Amino acid sequence: MAFNGHQCDDDIVDETPSKLPRCNQEMPGHFKNEPQNEATAADGRATCERRTSNSTPRHRKDSVKKTRPPFPWFGMDIGGTLVKLVYFEPKDITAEEEQEEVENLKSIRRYLTSNTAYGTTGIRDVHLELQDLTLCGRKGNLHFIRFPTHDLPVFLQMVRNKHFSSLHTTLCATGGGAYKFESDFRTMADLQLHKLDELDCLIRGVLYIDSVMSGGPVDSECYYFENPTDPDHCVQRPYPLENPYPLLLVNIGSGVSILAVYSKNNYKRVTGTSLGGGTFLGLCCLLTGCSTFEEALEIASQGESTRVDKLVRDIYGGDYESFGNMMCKEKRESVSKEDLARATLVTITNNIGSITRMCALNENIERVVFVGNFLRVNTLSMKLLAYAMDYWSKGQLKALFLRHEGYFGAVGALLELLHPSESSTNFS
């Protein structure tokens, strides 16, 4: 199963679902050869999960060592609002490897792991870091980095300055931006993009992260809100995502996609809406003068809660008009920007909840998992969604959430680098 001349292990069954169409465009370019800089792993079997066995034969270890891709290992998801990047930092580098490493590789690793912020907008989400992970026989940490899509030119200049293209000529990427900015990667950073199906990567990333978090030393990946209809007793609880199928996966980014997942190899896109996080931020910028998602959420959190609670109850009573009070001149003059931001958040969130509930009924699914960067630091929307699912279903439908929120597409892209699927293999 060759991928730019590299593979991890032909005996590994690829876990990427295959029911959705996948981009089969041939990847231009190859990884450039460099001195072998990887040690024989304690566990030679090239799996992407934690292992404890040490019984793999030596010849199998050597085979894995020769066929996995060279460092650095990245996966990227270029969305309409945010770029998400996952980076695997090897922690089992031997003294011999360190001597053989080229300076460019060391520079990239030092830069990414010694900082938690990059420039004015790049952030490494340290609280999401996965430590002591085993990927393709190497032990290390998985880092999660994000920055606004409008700052992509700054990122590409950094990539060029650190001579990334001397180590790789191709980067695995998903999301609409992988198509929109493909020429920028080529001209500004001398990199080709191996464009991957967005939904394939999303499903693959969700299943992988949940698998490595299950039974680990930290809380489970999945959680829910207990007593969502009782604000005084609403608390967050871990939820073991065992035997999860079928489930409805709702990805809320700039827009919204809703998937019905019946097994890891059987899923479909049910529907979606353009009214998502991008709509919320855009309207808040117009209505309040804010400029960032975090600022919009902060303003919304200061909105008058009793008024918002009344709006939520009105929805469930059946008679409701978003921003209906703004038809009255007196109320327009008395409303605050905090109330406007809060009303915008409630409107967008409840629209998503309503569509999700209808999809769950049509697909006869009682488990809903919400993901996406719209939910990052957005407890208000999560509790609204939990309330809505519980109320409309009379307690039968549970809203579930995942800690790594918007990074699953980037994780799926990284897994494609390490375990390429059938339709992405045999590149010349």
Active-site residues: which are they? 198
182-188 long-range CB contacts below 8 Å, 24 or more apart?
A: 184/152, 184/153, 184/156, 185/156, 188/153, 188/156, 188/157, 188/160
Q: ω into residue 153 within 30 of 0, thus cis?
A: no
Residue with tokens 């009793």: 306
Can you read off the two tokens belonging to residue 279?
């709509």
* Strand-pair partners of 161: none
Omega cis (within 30) before 90: no
Q: How many CB atoms lie within 10 A of CB 58?
A: 9
Inter-residue contact 359 to 248 (CB < 8 Å): yes
CA distance 428 to 425: 9
C-alpha 269: how far from its chain's center?
A: 17
CA distances (Å), 256 to each of 308, 329, 388, in order? 23, 33, 17
What share of residues in the chain are helix, strand, coil (percent, to 5)?
40, 20, 35
Helix residue spans in 182-250 (DSSP H):
182-189, 198-213
